[in-house]
Each structure stands twice: as C-alpha cells, then as structure tokens.
Amino acid sequence: MKKRFLISCTVLVMAAGLFSACKKSSGGGGNPNPPPDTTVVVNPAIDPPVANTIGFFLDDWQPRTFTRPSFTDTTVPSSATYTVTVDRSSVITKIPLSLFGNNSNLWMTQIVTESSLMSHITNIHPRIIRFPGGSISDVFFWNAQPNTPPADAPAELLNAAGVSSSAGYWYGKNTAGWTFSVDNYYTMLQQTGNKGLITINYGYARYGKSANPVAAAAHLAADWVRYDNGRTQYWEIGNENFGDWEAGYRIKLADNQDGQPEFLSGQLYGQHFKVFVDSMKKAAQEIGKTIYIGAVMVEAQTQAWETSTRRNWNTGMLPEANGKADFYVVHNYFTPYNTNSNAADILSTALVEMPKMMDFVKSTWQANGATPKPVALDEWNIFATGSKQQVSHVNGMHAVLLLGEALKRGYGMSARWDLANGWSNGDDHGMFNNGDEPDGVPKWNPRPAFYHMYFFQKLLGDRAVTSSVSGTTDVESVASSFTSGETGVTLVNKSTTFKTVEVKVQNFRKGARYYWYTLSGGTDNGEFSRKVFVNGKTAAHASGGPANYTTLSAYSASTANGIRVTIPARSVICMVIDKQ
C-alpha cells in the first residue's frame, strides 16, 4: 500500500475571519470508492434535445473525466445557514466547448515567441480565439502587405458626422513586431491547441470604389477561406456594423459605383450578407471543408435617440439573411458606458442582462419570421471605468456569473474581450498585462479574471445540471456533472459578508471526499482588488494570482457529515464532489 505523507498546518481564511486546522495530503486521502449506498435512489440523467440557440456548437462536445487533485485536508463548518440543492438527473444542456473563448487583436504584438503567454493561453484553453479584432476588422486586408491596400480602397473614409480622414487600414502580411500577422495568428492557435473565429471585412463592401464593391469584398473573403483550408470553422461577416463608429456605416457617394445609399441599413447588410455567404461557401466546397457563417444582430431594445440604422437593424437584416445565416452574433459590455460602477451593480448585470439578451434575440426572431439559430456572444466584458474595475477580482467574479448564465440560457459560444489591450490607468479589458502595467508587474502577468475562468473550467463537468439556493439571494450556484461520475458546483457570494453553505445533491451517491478552490480578493484598491487569492495564495507583485496555479493544492474534506463550505465575502468557490 502506498504510504501517504501528512504535514500538520494551520490555514488562516482571512476573508471569512476563521481559522481552520488542516493537514497536507499527497492526494490519496480516504477511500474514494466506498461500498455503494443503495439507500439513495438515483434517477437516470437524460440529455434534453439540443437547444436551437446552441446547435452545431455542440458538435465537438467531449465527455470529461475528473482527476482528483493533490489537496489540503481541511476542517469545515459543522453547520450551515444556507442550502444549495443540486439535481444531478436534471440536465440543462451538454456544455459547449466554445463557451470559454477569447479575442486576439492586431496590436498585441506577434506573441508567438512569448513563451509565458503561450503557456498561459494553453493552460486556460479558451478553445476559440477570435481574430483580427472588433471594429478593426472592417479596415483589415488579410492578404495585403503593409501600406498596400487594394487599388479600389479609398485613401480616406467618412465618420458618422461626414468628416473625412485617413482610412487607417491594417494589413495581414505585416510582420512588424508591434502588430499580429495572419500567419502568426494561425501559429498561435497551433501552439496553444485552440481554434479560430474569423471576422471578415464587411466595410470594404461599402467603401470600395470598384464597379461592384460587394463582389470584390466577398471574393476577398472567399480567398481567405481557401487560404485557411479548413483550419477555421466559424466565420462572421463584419463587426457591429449597425454602429455609427464602424467603417462603412457612412460612405462617400462620389466614390460608390453600384448605387448604395450613404448610410448603411440592416436590410442592405442582409442583402450583402447573402453574397458573402455564397462566395465563401463555394470556396469551402471547392476545398472540401465545412464552415459556419454568422450575421451581426443588435442585442437589446434600442432607444429613440439612437440612429435609424441601429433602431431598424434587426427588422431589416433578419428577413434578408434568414435563409443564409448559420448563427447570429451579439456583443455586450454589460455596465453603463464610461461609468464608475460599484461592485454590486457590476455583479448584478451578468444575472440580469444574459437572460434579457437571449429573450430579446428570440422575440426578435419571432417578430420577423426568422428561423432560430445558434447565438454567439463573441465580445463581452464590462464598461465600468475609473476605479480599475476591469482588471479587478470583481470582474473575475462577473466572468463566472456570466458563464454560468450562458450555460443556463443556451448560448452556443462566448468570447471575452480580450487577451491583451492597454493599461489606461486600469481601464484595461486585457486578460494579460501587455507590458505597460505599473508597479513592477511582469509582462503577460494574468489578471484576476484569468484565474476565475481557469478554475471555473477546471472544476466544470461536461453537462450543466439544475441547482438552487435557499435562504439567500446573495449566493449564486452553477452545477455540472462529469461523465466519469462526479458532480461540480460553483458558488458565488456577491455579498460583503461570509456565508456558510451546505450542498445537497439529489440523484447522486456521493463518494468519500469533496475538493474546492476559494478565489477571493485582497485589501488593495477598495472593493476592486487587483489581486486574487486562490486558497490563500496570490501573486508576489501588485496584481494577479499565484504563479503555481496549475499545481496548487485544493482544499478537501470528508463528505461523511455533509458537504459544507464557508464562502468568504465577495468570493467564488469551485468544487467537485467525489462519486461513490
């Protein structure tokens, strides 16, 4: 029999104000497969039909086997104030691998030689990484050398106010160190084991000066499909083209030769969308590949003060694109724009806006006679500014809440914005420091959201199952099951006081132990700590989390007297319960 080595210790759980006696284990503690408890009735779990809002995003679904981590044997509360009830037989959905995506961009440098960043991206494994970025996609020529746009691309473009300025094009063949080339994007995907989502330059179909700019732009897109040669399944036409900030929203009529109107409409985009789809799918068929192409939707009810283009986008686009769109694309930054939102308001937005957005999309389909299709939320983050909210532990909590709602509400894909951006005094959407963060923080150091998303995925099964919390609205739960038999539970305490919780799992024979990681913030920067503590461990510098996150020991306890944990104030617990 293998000898186990135990070391006595004491763990200070600072955020909860508790001391817990513990001992270090090499990972074998207790019999993980005790004799079956035949008194527990287990109803079979039956997978529901695939939701039409998920669809083909489940085609690459994979069963998951939980691997027990090394752990610290920990004393837990003898009683609990609140109860989380999980029904392992009540399956919401199989979990799409595409829900945990991220965005690259063209100003994050060539990155493929940045070993630490490549390692972090490999470890978190977003599976989907979008390229070339957001609005920049509509001024991007994927196969052009630097400063060599197509001959029919104008030197200047109009903004929404009609002011002309330099077009500011970007080029896929640019190998300068400050940008990110198409070929290095593919190299990054190969090195990190991820797949792509490519956003096509739709703006060129509007501002192009040729006799048929739509055909020219669609042909350019089809050539990219051929060059890609099956490496990428998911494509979308344009980025937020309903927005008056987007290239092609307003064009110079003097430059246009095919009679397009000065301002873009949803109907016109839908008509053009069909041309792109025909060209791109013909190219895919020629090389024997299958691709899926998404159309841009407005994600929420518009206001009277918004542009006519935005207000009428969905009603114009959907009847045109209905027979051609494989999926629909929405974006959301959840909190009010450029507002110094507090933590409570930030956390509430994921729970309110995710279901609201999906309900709006579905109602818009119905109102316009459109066939339901998969939904991709391929840009998301928060707009909150002024207190370093975007680089904070609270934004990591928001990410967990959002992903939990994505599972419950039937989203097929999501992709966070973005891998790296710019410090801007902490108003930085980047998951990693691109080298401009102050206080001696190392380049490519992960921000708190990285750790939240890493541990959420690490302890998430392959099917989402139902759960509920009784006695408080301060705690949210996300539950899952592993094909290997274990049950996963993530708990989010939104409040400023600790909560003691007991987890009860129906239709499940629990094993000997449960394991968890607690993610909590520090005391720096008020309620927006730039640090995250994972089981009491954090970064040696001013932001981020523990460097040894991949080997960090879980907390663990026996299930014999119940499954209980203390959730510190404003924290997340990611847990897995052994099977019998």
Question: How confident is the model over 252-260, as a mean pLDDT?
Answer: 98
Q: How many residues does the chain have?
A: 580
pLDDT for position 34: 54
| Cβ proximity of 532 and 451 under 8 Å | yes
8 Å CB contact between 335 and 383: yes
Q: Is 506 exposed, middle or buried (0-12, 13-18, 19+ CB in 10 A)?
A: middle
Averaged pLDDT for residues 321-336? 98
The residue assigned the tokens 């494989």 is 326
Residue 434 has pLDDT above 50, yes or no: yes
Distance of CA 100 to the CA centre of its chain: 4
The pLDDT of residue 39: 78
322, burial (CB in 10 Å: exposed 0-12, middle 13-18, buried 19+): middle
Please state the rounded mean pLDDT for residues 528-553. Answer: 98
In the prediction, which pLDDT does 2 show?
32
**Range 413-422 burial, b when 16+ CB lie within 10 A, else e:** bbbbbbbbbe
For residue 115, how far is the Cα from the chain centroid? 23
How far is residue 335's CA from residue 426's CA, in Å, rounded to a whole number? 16
pLDDT digits (tens, 9 = 90+) for 9-63: 333 333 333 333 344 444 444 455 555 566 789 999 999 999 999 999 999 999 9
Q: Is the pLDDT of residue 335 over 90?
A: yes
**Closest Cα partner for 52 from 266, 328, 368?**
328
pLDDT tens per residue across span 134-169: 999 999 999 999 999 999 999 999 999 999 999 999
What is the Cα–Cα distance from 317 to 31, expressed in whole angstroms?
Answer: 59
Say what the pLDDT of residue 38 is.
66
Q: Residue 435: is it exposed, middle or buried by C-beta count within 10 angstroms (0-12/13-18/19+)?
A: middle
Amino acid at 369: G
Distance of CA 225 to the CA centre of its chain: 25
Question: What domains appear along the chain, each with residue ranges and CATH number?
Answer: 7-95+463-579 (2.60.40.1180), 133-325 (3.20.20.80)
Please check the confidence at residue 483 and state whether its pLDDT lies above 90: yes
β-pairing, 475-481 vs 487-493, is: antiparallel
H/E stretch holding 252 reads none
With CA atoms as reference, report the closest residue to 396 among 504, 499, 503, 538.
538
Q: Quick: pLDDT tens for 160-205.
A: 999 999 999 999 999 999 999 999 999 999 999 999 999 999 999 9
* Region 229-256 average pLDDT: 98
What tokens does 396 get?
């990591």
In this structure, are residues 488 and 505 in contact, taking their beta carbons and an 8 Å threshold?
no
Q: With a cut of 60, say whether residue 493 has pLDDT above it.
A: yes
pLDDT, tens digit, for every residue of 366-409?
Answer: 999 999 999 999 999 999 999 999 999 999 999 999 999 999 99
Q: How far apart are CA 298 and CA 291, in angstroms?
A: 23
List, in order, residues 6 or more apart from 323 with CB less than 8 Å away.
none
Q: What is the percentage of the chain residues whose pLDDT exceeds 70?
A: 93
Dihedral of alpha carbons 396, 401, 403, 404, sign: positive
Per-residue model confidence (pLDDT) at position 33: 53
DSSP string over 3-43? PPP-EEEEEEEGGGTEEEEEEEE-S--S-SSPSP-TTS--P
As a whole number, the mean pLDDT across the chain is 94
